């Protein structure tokens, strides 16, 4: 089997990442699955070899083995994947320590697709999803500094834009995925230097389905057969909308779509 080539899908939540993964997976040469633990597993292993396991590693002169343990995680996780192209999906990749993980242990020239969407639309999407699942939600809590699932990812994107070589990332908006799907796919293929493939945009199915019962949220990653944007009511107060507008101004001002 040829060595796998790793690409990365990151950015904000509720931005069409499951739809995009479903489309990319139509290509038999590409594996684009659900949310991946690879980033977290690599981070945890790095912490271990540098702290709790470090004394034993040094005492036994196994520092090279420690590095190999970290770098082997992607291949171990995707061991059963037959495709040579793997798109690893994780919102945390854009954070600087995690970008450092990619460059040190996976590839020195990463290619990361970053999805964005206005923050108010994302919060409303979450509120609507939680409401349908009879779960409590507080729109204001989504804006807590460095909180999951939005603000930590938001800061990661700002980090990428401010600090990364533009050859390493491409930013795609949710509206473009919905309204200019064909162009978006072509942009991603060009960015990743993939051989062109004829994708279909009707009767879409999810090839690698996540078990949303694990998250406790029904239809969390449901993809509709046809591409469209749902109308969702506004759950946000004027004060929250004002904060969202400020965040959107920074986000959309800094990126070049």
CATH number at residue 187: 3.40.50.300
Q: What is the pLDDT of residues 161-202, one digit of tens each?
A: 999 999 999 999 999 999 999 999 999 999 999 999 999 999
Distance CA 184, CA 173 (A): 9
In a domain, 138, yes or no: no
Q: Which domain holds residue 73?
A: 5-118+148-228
Cα atoms in the 13 Å half-sphere on the side-chain side of 208: 23
- The percent of residues in the chain predicted with pLDDT above 90, rounded, is 95
Two tokens, residue 237: 């107060």
More confident residue, 10 or 66: 10
Instruction: Give the three-state DSSP class for 220.
Output: coil
Q: What is the pLDDT of residues 95-109, one digit of tens each?
A: 999 999 999 999 999
Distance CA 124, CA 251 (A): 18
- What is the secondary structure of 217-230 as a DSSP string? -TTTT---SS----
In a domain, 25, yes or no: yes
In a domain, 68, yes or no: yes
In a domain, 49, yes or no: yes
Is the pTM higher than 0.85? The answer reads: yes
Q: What is the pLDDT of residues 144-163, one digit of tens each?
A: 999 999 999 999 999 999 99
Nearest to 16 by CA among 171, 186, 143: 171
The arrangement of strands across the sheet holding 5-11 comes to 30-35, 85-89, 5-11, 112-116, 169-173
Two tokens, residue 142: 């989504």
Domain total of the chain: 1
pLDDT at residue number 206:
95
In a domain, 139, yes or no: no
Two tokens, residue 254: 């800094």
Distance CA 157, CA 93 (A): 9
Two tokens, residue 184: 């978006």
In a domain, 133, yes or no: no
What mean pLDDT do residues 251-256 have?
74
| Maximal CA-CA distance, the chain | 61
Q: From residue 206, how far is each of 21, 25, 62, 113, 114 by CA, in Å?
A: 8, 8, 43, 19, 20
In a domain, 38, yes or no: yes
pLDDT level of residue 64 (50, 70, 90 thresholds): confident
In a domain, 254, yes or no: no
């Amino acid at each position: 089997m040829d060595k796998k080539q790793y690409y990365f899908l990151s950015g904000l939540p509720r931005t069409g990442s499951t739809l995009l993964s479903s489309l990319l997976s139509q290509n038999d040469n590409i594996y684009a699955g659900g949310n991946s633990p690879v980033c977290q597993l690599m981070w945890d292993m790095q912490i271990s070899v540098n702290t709790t396991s470090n004394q034993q590693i040094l005492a036994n002169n196994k520092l090279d083995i420690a590095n190999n343990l970290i770098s082997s995680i992607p291949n171990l996780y995707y061991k059963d994947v037959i495709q040579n192209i793997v798109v690893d999906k994780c919102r945390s990749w854009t954070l600087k320590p995690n970008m450092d993980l990619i460059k040190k242990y996976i590839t020195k020239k990463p290619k990361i697709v970053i999805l964005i969407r206005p923050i108010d639309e994302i919060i409303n999407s979450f509120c609507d999803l939680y409401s349908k699942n009879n779960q409590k939600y507080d729109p204001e809590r989504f804006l807590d500094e460095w909180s999951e699932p939005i603000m930590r990812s938001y800061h990661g994107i700002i980090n990428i834009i401010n600090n990364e070589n533009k050859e390493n990332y491409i930013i795609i908006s949710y509206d473009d995925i919905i309204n200019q799907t064909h162009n978006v796919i072509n942009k991603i293929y060009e960015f990743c230097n993939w051989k062109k493939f004829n994708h279909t945009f009707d009767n879409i199915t999810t090839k690698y389905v996540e078990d949303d019962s694990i998250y406790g949220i029904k239809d969390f990653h449901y993809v509709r057969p046809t591409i469209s944007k749902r109308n969702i009511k506004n759950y946000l107060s004027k004060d929250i909308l004002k904060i969202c507008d400020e965040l959107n101004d920074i986000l959309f001002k800094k990126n070049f779509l």
